[in-house]
Amino acid sequence: MKVQIKVPKFMKPKAQEPKRGKATVDGKFFSAIPRWESEVSESSTADETLRDDSWMSSDEPGHHRHSPLVAQQVLVAQQEKGVKIIPETREDEIRNLNIAMARAKELPRTSYFTSNHVMVNRVREKRNVPPLGRSPELDEVARWHAQQMAEAAEGMFHADPTEIVSRLGKPSRRIGSNVAVGESVRHMHAKMMEKRGDFNNLIDRRYIQFGMGTAPGPNGDLYMCQIYRG
């Protein structure tokens, strides 16, 4: 059965937001591998490489432009060596999307949001976006940064991108980060649904893995970090 393809658009949802509580959130991303400045052929090498290792805001109207229907898990090492990657056809993308969405129906479900991973994947599934796999490695990095924010007790902030890359065991094509501080994970998730930058990361088709971590602050606030990887 084919599914209807819709490009994700930001819309403030009629959320099931808790009646009390507050949260502050922010979402950013960066490209985590070198990008060739010139096209590389089989008989040549790139003259120069550029590494985009600074955070960029995810709060842009065209954030999802040129996103594939399903992210390809290509070998980053091949791209770094200049090996030409043959892009998927539109038919391939649609077939892979159908497979991914069929698998999404087998994911855990709950009427009460007890897992942030479940929350995120339910939002993606409703918008016909493939679910994210949970990564213990990303969980560890997210917990580390949540603890950093809690110990600083100066509000939320993003970790140094180069530090995130150094803590990951394998190269990545794209990294997204949502950070938040609030009373609970549910309050922070509801706020992320309202903030376009965080929402864009949450439904970005270019990501394939997800991790999150929390840490209590000295004033009773809860700090949370989500890490997305593609």
Residue 198 resides in a domain? yes
Decide if 25 contacts 191 (C-beta within 8 A). yes
- Give the range of the structural domain holding residue 166, as residue numbers without chain letter: 23-40+50-229
Task: Say whether 224 sits in a helix, a strand or coil.
Answer: strand
Residue 15 resides in a domain? no
Task: Choose among 212, 210, 203: nearest CA to 180.
Answer: 212
Q: What is the pLDDT of residues 139-175, one digit of tens each?
A: 999 999 999 999 998 888 888 888 888 888 777 888 8
Residue 115 resides in a domain? yes
CATH number of 158's domain: 3.40.33.10
Mean pLDDT of 63-92: 52
**For residue 78, is pLDDT > 60?**
no
Q: How many domains does the chain have?
A: 1
Report d(CA 86, CA 110) in Å as an integer: 39
Decide if 175 contacts 212 (C-beta within 8 A). no
Residue 10 resides in a domain? no
Reading the block at residue 110, the tokens are 């709950």
**For residue 49, is pLDDT > 50?**
no
Please tell me the pTM assigned to this model: 0.62
- What single DSSP character describes residue 173? S
